[in-house]
Homo-oligomer: A and B are copies of this chain.
Amino acid sequence: MDRTPIGSLKEHLNETVTIQGWLQTLRDQKNMQFLIMRDRTGLVQVAHYRPGNPELGDMISTLGSESALTITGKVVENKVVKLGGLEIQLETLTVENAAETPLPFDPFDNDNLPAIDFRMDWRYLDLRREQNLLLFKVQTVLEHAMREYWLENQFIEIHSPKITGSPSESGAELFEVLYFERKAYLAQSPQFYKQMAMAAGFERVFEIGPVFRADPSFTSRHMTEFTGLDMEISWIESHEDVMAFTEKWLQYAYKRVKETYGSEIQAVFGVDIKVPEVPFPRLTMAEAYAILKAQGYKLPPERKGDLDPGGERAIADYVKEKYDSDFLFVIDWPISVRPFYHMRHPDAPELTRSFDLIAGGLEIATGAQREHRYEVLRQQALEKGLGLENIQYYLDFFRYGAPPHGGFGMGLSRVLMVLLGLPNIRESVFLFRGPNRLTP
């Protein structure tokens, strides 16, 4: 049996074809039954003349919306039909899986969609919406473009372990795992392991994989598990080398998405993908503070040295107006708000060689040059109050010839939020995980 995608039916006029998909709508009239069928490639009307086969007609009348069907029939021209000016004259129909009625909600009634939390309970129905199918097609191309650019630039792909034997970084926001008879932890990032790849002489690596944060936040941009886009490169001179690579890489990915799905994104999301120009503007944290101060923006006191989301947006607005850029690097963050492994400026040791990438007012990535000198790194860990015992395996990476290196970690779903203008990260991820959400 050869299946014909609905999107290519017009190449099969006057032929008998098999289509397979979902019954989106049934118009059940006295003599005629019209089944609007959907697959990944489009919609088509299937017509059944009831008196010709009353038994089949009765069966069709029982079908619930969203039932999975296999239909054969002849493709004919029908100018009055909106869906491409053609329809299928039904010959046979097989019910692969009858949908129960009623549906928990109608995913195609855009004006009456339930709130996201209810839709997440029935995520697979929610994913049947055109917007969501397109979102994951876009994600696929976005990631593939990122990997293409990495591969063209001699990167090696790694898969680092997600179960680790000791708490890394600060020990906060860690999920504990019962590992046979002992305690283990879920990796908060591939940070230590991509640095290990630098010590191994891999020179350039990337990883796309899950990242776990036991963060009890309920914001529109946090998840306890997300897909991280991570890279690390060796033999850099400063964080500027990392930023210079990052912006070109992102530009390439945006370009490929626009080429592939630009017009569909315009039609479905109403968003015109703008391929960013490089270099992105850079502001030091000191400059960012001065701008916020001049605007009268007050950072919450507990954020000393850091930016809050409102501050990020205010700075982004400033940069958008001044440089017409949706992207912005905020660089040279104070050591107080950066982890111990960020390298410090030799001439301003209270500042790190670090950056955040802000896109559309949202922080999407954090990067830095890393400290690769064993003794300095050890000292910086001690200053941050870390127990060396837990991180000795990591410090050991720097004992036998570690090159200067740096990289970034980025959140895939945050990039999609910004790219497609989505209000909530729950809309841009296959299955959301939060403090209260572990199903489906």
Enumerate chain A interface residues (CB-CB to B < 8 A). 1, 3, 20-23, 38-40, 64, 66-68, 70, 96-100, 103-104, 122-125, 127-128, 132-133, 136-137, 139-140, 143-144, 147, 151, 154-166, 175-180, 184, 186, 193, 196-197, 199-203, 208-210, 212, 214, 216, 224-225, 227, 235, 237, 372-374, 393-394, 396-404, 412, 430-431, 433, 435, 438-440
Contact = CB atoms under 8 A, between A and B. Distances in A.
A163 B393 CA distance: 26
Contact of A124 (B64, B199, B224): B199
A166 B128 CA distance: 25
Nearest to A68: B401
Nearest to A139: B157
12 contacts: A96-B402, A128-B200, A140-B157, A144-B151, A159-B210, A162-B210, A163-B175, A163-B186, A163-B225, A164-B438, A180-B214, A196-B431
Contact of A166 (B237, B373, B412, B439): B439
A212 B163 contact: yes
Q: What are the 7 tightest A-B residue pairs by CB atom distance, in nearest-first order?
A: A165-B438, A127-B200, A68-B401, A99-B400, A124-B200, A66-B401, A99-B401
Given A139-B157, A235-B3, A435 B180 contact: yes
B225 A439 contact: no
Given A68-B403, A162-B225, A196-B440, A177 B180 contact: no
Question: How many subunits of this chain does the assembly comprise?
Answer: 2
Contacts of A178: 175-178
B163 A40 contact: no
Given A20-B403, A125-B400, A144-B147, A162 B162 contact: yes
Nearest to A151: B144
A133 B438 contact: no
A403 B1 contact: no
Contacts of A177: 175-178, 186
Contacts of A143: 157
A376 to B, nearest CB: 11
A275 B426 CA distance: 43
* Residue picked from A20, A199, A400, A403, most chain B C-beta under 10 Å: A400
B430 A158 contact: yes
Nearest to A178: B176
A196 B163 contact: no
Nearest to A100: B399
Nearest to A394: B440
Given A186-B177, A193-B431, A400-B66, A127 B202 contact: yes
Given A161-B433, A163-B175, A193-B430, A201 B133 contact: yes
Contacts of A373: 97
Given A159-B210, A184-B438, A203 B39 contact: yes
Nearest to A154: B40
Contact of A175 (B132, B147, B179): B179
Contacts of A159: 208, 210, 227, 412, 430
A46 to B, nearest CB: 16
